[in-house]
Amino acid sequence: MALSALTRDWPFEPAVIAALAIIALLYWLGFRATQRDGGSAQRLRWWHAVFFALGLLALLVALDSPLDTRGAHSLLEHMRGQVLLALVAPPLLLLGQPFRAFWRALPARARAGSLAWAIRHPVAYRVARGAAGTLLQPWLGLLLATAMFWIALLPALLEAELTRGGVQALVNGLLLATALLFWAQVIVPAPLHSRLGYPARIVYVILNGMQASVGGAFFMFSPLPFYAYYVRHGNGASIAAALVDQHLAGAAMDMAGVTIFALAVTALLALWLIEDDREGKREVAALATARHQ
């Protein structure tokens, strides 16, 4: 009975499944290529593949699972999907070092051709690199992620999402893209370079985490339902049921945001201490070498 209910609620969207399957295949090909003929510094480790697989799983659950289907009748389920898209999947995908894997997944001729094109067209290459550099500015990543977070909560847009598949795909895509821009400043996968030191990254993460807490508190303590759609179409189809659902959605958003950002800050603090320790050891070694000379 439970299995039949799960199968009934599962959307089985061919486009989503095909896209995730292609991404997984490209990553696997690139991963294998780094193991086969890459230097030790270029090889992807098994934990990179695990992180990336978990990121794809989070995307699958958010975009093509009963969670997505039930989001049409429950704000709590809808917000769980948004959390997966904005806070869970992006850092996991970036921890998998995807750019290195996708680059190595390309045939050698295609890689050589792209490098030759950059050499033959230096102006176009500089323009493209400049555009990418602008897009990867930390302030822009924070601004876009924050703006998209709040835009996705607008009642009119949320109702359009739940009633029009095209709008939902667009909003989900923008949420994921802006979240990747934000998390790329925190995790910095190769070949990107760090624009923020560890203290700045910690502040950066806290600033974004605050908005999740504010959004969660807004839903938890609102005396009236914010979304008329869930009053009409939610489980129970009443103001009281919609309000309870909204309070639960706010609690879930707040708890998820606090947990994920606390983990991120803890990891950044640990990495900062490790780097500081290594820097201290290098300075001691340099002083010892200078004394011997």
CA 30 – CA 99 distance, rounded (Å): 9
Residues of the chain with pLDDT under 50: 1
CA 72 – CA 80 distance, rounded (Å): 12
Which pLDDT score, from 0 to 100, does residue 282 have? 76
Which pLDDT score, from 0 to 100, does residue 264 have? 93
Which pLDDT score, from 0 to 100, does residue 1 have? 41
CA 264 – CA 91 distance, rounded (Å): 9
Which pLDDT score, from 0 to 100, does residue 4 have? 57
Measured from the Cβ of residue 237, the count of other Cβ atoms closer than 10 Å reads 12
The answer to whether the Cα torsion of 209, 212, 218, 220 is positive or negative is negative
Query: What does pTM read for this prediction?
Result: 0.90
N-terminal to C-terminal alpha carbon distance within the chain: 79
Which pLDDT score, from 0 to 100, does residue 210 have? 85
Give the three-state DSSP class for 39: coil
**pLDDT tens string 30-45:** 999 988 865 666 789 9
Measured from the Cβ of residue 194, the count of other Cβ atoms closer than 10 Å reads 12
The conformational region for residue 236 under phi > 0 = left, psi -120 to 50 = alpha, else beta, is left
Query: Of 209, 248, 206, whose CA–CA distance to 230 is shortest?
Result: 248
